[in-house]
Structure formats: C-alpha cells, structure tokens
Amino acid sequence: MPYPTLTLLISCPDRQGIVAALSQFVLEAGGNIVRSDQHTTDPMGGGFFMRLEFLYPDGGPDDEHFKERFGAVAERFAMDWRLVRSTAPKRMALFVSRIDHCFIDLLWRWRAGELAVKIPLVVSNHPDLEPIAVQYGLPFHFFPIARENQAEQEARMLESLEGQVDFIVLARYMRILGRDFIERYPGRIINIHHSFLPAFVGASPYKRAYERGVKVIGATAHYVTAELDEGPIIEQDVIRVNHRDGANDLRLKGRDIERGVLARAVKWHIEDRVLVYGNRTVVFN
C-alpha cells in the first residue's frame, strides 16, 4: 500500500530562499518530497505560488504539531498556506436542474474511481433527475425555487449542506445563487458555463453565439462569485463550428466540451491543484 501524502499549498510575495526553506523544513522533519510545482508571476517582486507534495515514512506530526513547526517558516515569508492530507477525501455536493449530461458524466467518473471524492447528497430545483441520483444510491434533496422564495429555500439548502460537504459543483444548475449563499462557500463552488468566457455571459449563450455567427464555441469552468460568470477561471476548451451549424448543433457539440471541462476542473480541485489569486488561478497540472 502506498504511503499517504501531505500537500502544502502556498502563496506569498516572491523572494530568494523560499524553495530552499521549504525543502529544508521537510528534510529536517523526516519527510520526503514526492512532487514540487511552483510559479512566479514576476521574478522581480511578483507573487510566488507552490504546491508541495510530500510524505513521512513514520507517519509524521499531526496537524497541530505541523502548524507549530511550520509557523516560523510561514511567518518569515508572509505565506498564506494550507495543508491537505490524502487520507481525508473531500465531500462534494452536486447541484443540478433538468439537463443531465454533466451530472451523469461526473457520476460515472466517480463510480469508475476517477474522482477520489465522497458525494453526500444531490441538490436540485427540479425533481427530474432524482431517478439518476437514486440509481447511484445518492440522497436527492428537492428545493423548488421561485423569485419570491429563493432566500428562504437557499437558507434551507445551506442547512442541508451544513457539516456534510466541503465544496459544491453546479452541474448545469440553472439558477443564479444568491450572494448570501455564495459567501458561505468562497472559492468552493465550481460552475460550468456553456460559453468561452468572457464571451456570452449569462443565459442562452449557444443561441447568441449562433446569431453572432461565431466559428468557435467553448465552455468554461470557474469558481462562483457574486458577479455573474465573472469568477476565477479554472479550465476552458473550444471546438470549431461553421455556417452549416444551427443553434441546436452548437448545443449538441458544446455538451461534449462541457463534460470534459467540468470533469477536469473538479478533478484538479479535488487534488488541490488550484490556487486562486485575485480573480485568476494557478493550476498545477
């Protein structure tokens, strides 16, 4: 059986000696570095980002002892950091509406072992996809939402999520979440938008892309913020189209792109490969 690993995610101002200090820390604690990825926005005073994966053959310190020992290094370099253990899989809630292709694709990948995550529940504003959730043995929570009851229903949704999930995936959940809801899960709600953002923000992007006569359509997975479709982008992809393609052809072609883009974004989030800075991301893949 392979050793469990720890992943240290770091962001700080760039300066000399960061990598050396981190390597020395792991060495002195009896650890072994498995993988190291880093990025600097500007070698002369920019931001520094790092994903350091390592292990302790003897088990190593618990989180509190690690924090105590690492505190001096973090303070020295003004680091924002977090530690993740491979022995603690994330818990993912899936939000869906009526469109099923992204939902089914994620469930298939989860069952096939591609996504090392737990799925405590599925949340929806429509009952249509409950049979699929039941087929996969997942609890299905139905919250019908209209304009006049959205705040009340989202409060109920938050209650159902409390203590059960670490992040949320909007697998074509066709409802704009309220600000209060989003602020409870900052940087932990992933959405798939069926457009190559920043083009065609909001509703009906395939229809608007057809009317505009574009030659390329795409999909974008991003973290949700209070500004519609403006959150940090995790992954994007495109496919070429031509004058023979109608709006429905674009929609059908786009579904393949949506599935792949969302799956990659979710996988990278699960594996702690994404660091957010400002409204951008560093993705260590």
* Residue at a domain's end among 39, 64, 85: 85
CATH number, position 13:
3.30.70.260
The mean per-residue pLDDT over the stretch 102-131 comes to 98
- Indicate the residue among 60, 85, 110 that finishes a domain: 85
Q: Which of 105, 166, 229, 272 is catalytic?
A: 229
pLDDT digit string (tens) for 166-221?
Answer: 999 999 999 999 999 999 999 999 999 999 999 999 989 999 999 999 999 999 99
* Residue 110 sits in the same domain as residue 245: yes
Over residues 27-65, the pLDDT tens digits come to 988 899 999 999 998 877 799 999 999 998 887 778 888
Which DSSP string corresponds to 128-187?
A: TTHHHHHHTT--EEE----GGGHHHHHHHHHHHHTTT-SEEEESS--SPPPHHHHHHSTT
Token digits for 214?
């574009």
Distance between CA 224 and CA 190 in Å, rounded? Answer: 6
Peptide bond into 120 cis (omega under 30): no
Q: Are strands 189-193 and 167-170 parallel, antiparallel or unpaired?
A: parallel
Q: Is the pLDDT of residue 156 over 80?
A: yes
Model confidence at 2, pLDDT cuts 50, 70, 90, reads low
For residue 16, tell me if it sits in a domain.
Answer: yes
DSSP string, 175-233: SPPPHHHHHHSTT-EEEEESS-TTSS-SS-HHHHHHHHT-SEEEEEEEE--SSTT-SPE
Give the confidence band of 91 by pLDDT, cuts at 50, 70, 90: very high
Same domain (yes/no): 59, 189: no
Q: So what's the pLDDT on residue 221?
A: 98
Provide the number of structural domains found in the chain. Answer: 2
Q: Are residues 210 and 178 in the same domain?
A: yes
Same domain, yes or no: 126 and 42: no
Q: Is 229 a catalytic residue?
A: yes
Query: In this model, does residue 144 exceed pLDDT 70?
Result: yes
Looking at residue 1, its pLDDT comes to 44
Q: How far apart are CA 252 and CA 18, in angstroms?
A: 48
Q: Provide the b/e sequence for 142-164 (b: ≥16 CB within 10 Å).
A: ebebeeeebeebbeebeeebeee
CATH code of residue 220: 3.40.50.170
Q: For the sheet containing 32-40, what is the strand order?
A: 32-40, 47-55, 6-13, 80-85
Same domain, 161 and 254: yes
* Same domain assignment for residues 201 and 259: yes
**Which residues are registered as beta bridge partners of 232?**
none
Distances (CA, A) of 147 to 126, 158, 159, 195, 227: 15, 18, 20, 25, 18
Q: Which of 129, 106, 93 is nearest to 224 (CA)?
A: 93
Over residues 226-230, mean pLDDT: 92
Residue with tokens 């989003």: 182
| Same-domain pairing of 135 and 199 | yes
Of 58, 85, 112, which closes a domain? 85
CB burial of residue 212 (10 Å; 0-12, 13-18, 19+): exposed
In the predicted structure, residue 10 carries a pLDDT above the cut 70: yes
Q: Containing domain of residue 116, as a range?
A: 90-283
Nearest to 39 by CA among 10, 79, 69: 10
The dihedral through the CA atoms of 47, 260, 6, 224 has a sign that is: positive
Question: Do 137 and 267 fall within a single domain?
Answer: yes
Residue 207 token pair: 């229809």
**DSSP label of 4:** P
